[in-house]
Structure 1
């Protein structure tokens, strides 16, 4: 595995293919309080690209172009948060998308454990470390441990997606999952508009 660190944006000539695993690191989990600091990506080749963003300008045209490229599927785990952060700070709507957490909830109905660590452990056979999850992602320099952690969050999403696709097809839920993925950027927009804690589809 090689982890490539990029300052500010992805390189001009980087081609990550038609399916790219993406995650982000922030200073917290509140949209308008906590800034977006890092975006990590993998093409599924065993390597990861970590972008330390320039704040507050967020001048990253190559990354923005990738996020909005209709020919590239962006694979997330709990994409609702990352997509919302990209809408807020980068000003782009990320499409098309796939979320392994949504896929897991639709396919793995025999469990209530749908976190990335649980999904990857069962479906890929890798035990992820979460030791750096709450570290300072806004630091001027990222530590080797932070880079390894950021990479681990995207390195196995392609393999997890492949297993989940098989399960969704087996259970007859692939089309339902696809419709959920299509709605996900709108769900993120609702979060940003103030409906993050409200289920507008509920009766009450």
Structure 2
């Protein structure tokens, strides 16, 4: 198969920008799937995982309990860069899965204002050739608003500063998820 699905492609993008010693961020750790992926990739590095919901942090901790190089923070992703900056001058990669916690309260969602703040601040500490990958879910009302506003924001990023990729299946129904990747130049 020459075309990857959304989540496998998001992980492929991350994997192509990190080493075992990288500093990486799961900006929306949810149920811990991306946190686990990152922990397995950066075995000699560090993973920073953020979520506003206690049950998301607990789910991720349970899924990754055999790892000791993950730092969990129950706070919004807009605070991630200031927390990480206390320990490191740079990061190599960040992944976001926007929307709501699967099997959680669908009224608690990410939103464009905090997501854009997080992108801006994490981009500042992303090293050259590092990447930020966002999996965007426009299939619910807040997700559609966030999708539109985040897309407008990333379109405005100076091409001398970053390459911005949009990866989407255009023949799927019901506003399918898509990827935005921002590679720092």
TM normalised by structure 2 equals: 0.30
Question: Who wins on radius of gyration, i.e. which is larger?
Answer: 1
Identify the structure with the greater helix proportion. Answer: 1
The higher-RCO structure (CA 8 Å, 6+ apart) is 1
Identify the structure with the greater strand proportion. Answer: 2
